[in-house]
Structure 1
Amino acid sequence: MGVTETAPIPKQRGEQLLDHAVRYAEERHWDVFPGTWLEAEDGKELCSCGAADCAAPGAHPVMQGWAASATGSATTVRRMWQKQPRASILLPTGRTFDAIDVPETAGFLALARMERMELTLGPVALTPDLRMLFFVLPGAGAKVPDLVRRLGWSPSTIDLVTRAEGDYVAAPPTRFGGRGAVQWARRPTPANRWLPDAEELINPLAYACGREAAAARARRA
């Protein structure tokens, strides 16, 4: 009589968050810290911070001194998520990476162009609020505004933002309340361990953002 194979039991969400947080620390050497989480109430998912008008439900720091709690120690990460398994995974920028934050439509346009140009790319994340985050070397915050202006645009008018020192990004599989989960458009792999400099990517990113901004103005006219 043959042995019947059983399907693996799916991991609970808290276990998934813990596994991902540990891998970011161990495999990428990224600092990690836990944020707020989602709680079900009256059929809705509300942020654990308790604010009804929370701008990022389930995906922001719990306390003001969050920067000091960020760690690259897998042991400490395990201890943090064992205390609150549902906590979002937040990554401080300005340490091992910065992130160039653009509208999703512009990001996909730029990503396709970068791939045609065979540019070196790091991880790229998609957020539920329709943004795309391109991971680049630290220092982008200081240079990106001038780089964009040299190309003939203002960062604010084309909706191009740099996440640098003092800021953070939410990492997959963190969920924003009612809007789904952060996902990878380009996953972290050994092949993209070495991040590009912001200067290498800014031309296609600024072009795509400028094009999308112009299209949006034309629609409003």
Structure 2
Amino acid sequence: MGFTIGGIRELRSGSRRRGRTSECTAVAEYTGLWGWDVAPGARAGNGQCSCGDTGCASPGDHPLEFSPEIPAGATLDDVAKAWSDVPGAAVLLPVGRGFDIIDVAEQAGSRALVRLERMGLPVGPVTATPTGRAHFFVAPGGAAELPDLLYRMGWDDADLDLHALGSGTYVTAPPSEMAGLGPVRWLRPPSLDTAAAPPQARLLLGTLAYISHRT
């Protein structure tokens, strides 16, 4: 897959050019336009993780410990310089800072997204993972509020395939692959208004819970 176990060391011929035009450009957009921090992440191939730990519990699905995060506001030149130390790294976004995540099955998420947009409700960025999940970006604090919100909406005792991710977790962002299973893609890409101020979880949760329950 172009890297060696024990640290991401891709073949230098062409890897930096590809990084500059894909990962670096995407990371610079995340930091410069959307105001998100980015963590270089490990990648997986043949069941092995590029972090070098042969017993890694999450191959290709965690930040690289030796590589610092790239802060919000970093320019393309800043990103290219930082990424040259970890060519081929996955693009991970720290959750709990600019956004939290509501995680639902992709089928339910796609149906809910159509309904939310028809209803004119504010919707933030949404990604789809190769594991069949949809990640709805909501305002920070949404993960902590989820149990109480579900209780107040009467969904606390329902069997819902719906979860929240908050501070201390990371999500893989396009154009990277997630855990060697395939690329993450946008169902609804970020925009200037939704990236900086994603909607409160309560505005989406009723629809997401209803569709998840029906699906």
**TM-score, with length taken from structure 1:** 0.78
Partner Cα separation in structure 2 for residue 138 and residue 155 of structure 1:
24
8 Å CA contact 1:124–1:133 kept in 2: the answer is yes
Is 2:96 the partner of 1:94?
Answer: yes
1:37 positional shift: 2.1
Alignment of 1:32-181 (within 5 A): 32-39=38-45, 44=46, 46-50=48-52, 56-63=58-65, 69=69, 71-74=71-74, 76-154=78-156, 157-181=159-183
- Cα 1:177–1:96 shift into 2, 3 Å: closer
Moved over 6 A (4+): none
User: Which secondary structure does the structure 1 equivalent of 2:93 belong to?
Assistant: strand
1:47 positional shift: 2.4
- Number of equivalences: 197
Larger radius of gyration: 1
- Cα 1:146–1:56 shift into 2, 3 Å: same
Partner Cα separation in structure 2 for residue 155 and residue 145 of structure 1:
10
1:96 positional shift: 1.0
Of the structure 1 ranges 117-126 and 177-186, higher mean CA displacement relative to structure 2 is found in 177-186
Partner Cα separation in structure 2 for residue 46 and residue 13 of structure 1:
23
1:54 positional shift: 5.5
Unaligned runs of 5+ in 1: 1-10, 213-221
- Cα 1:103–1:13 shift into 2, 3 Å: farther
Percent identity of the aligned residues? Answer: 42
CA deviation profile, 1:55-99 (whole Å, cap 9, x unmatched): 654231223x98x73522415533331101210111111111111
Letter of the structure 2 residue corresponding to residue 78 of structure 1: A
Is 2:19 the partner of 1:14?
Answer: yes
8 Å CA contact 1:170–1:182 kept in 2: the answer is yes
Partner Cα separation in structure 1 for residue 182 and residue 69 of structure 2:
26
Match of 2:205 among 202, 205, 209: 202
Partner Cα separation in structure 2 for residue 36 and residue 110 of structure 1:
32
Of the structure 1 ranges 102-111 and 173-182, higher mean CA displacement relative to structure 2 is found in 173-182
User: Which secondary structure does the structure 2 equivalent of 1:95 belong to?
Assistant: coil
8 Å CA contact 1:126–1:183 kept in 2: the answer is yes
**TM-score, with length taken from structure 2:** 0.80
Unaligned runs of 5+ in 2: 1-15
Partner Cα separation in structure 1 for residue 194 and residue 88 of structure 2:
28
1:27 — aligned with what?
A: 33
Partner Cα separation in structure 1 for residue 203 and residue 135 of structure 2:
15
CA deviation profile, 1:76-135 (whole Å, cap 9, x unmatched): 533331101210111111111111111111111211211121111111111111110111
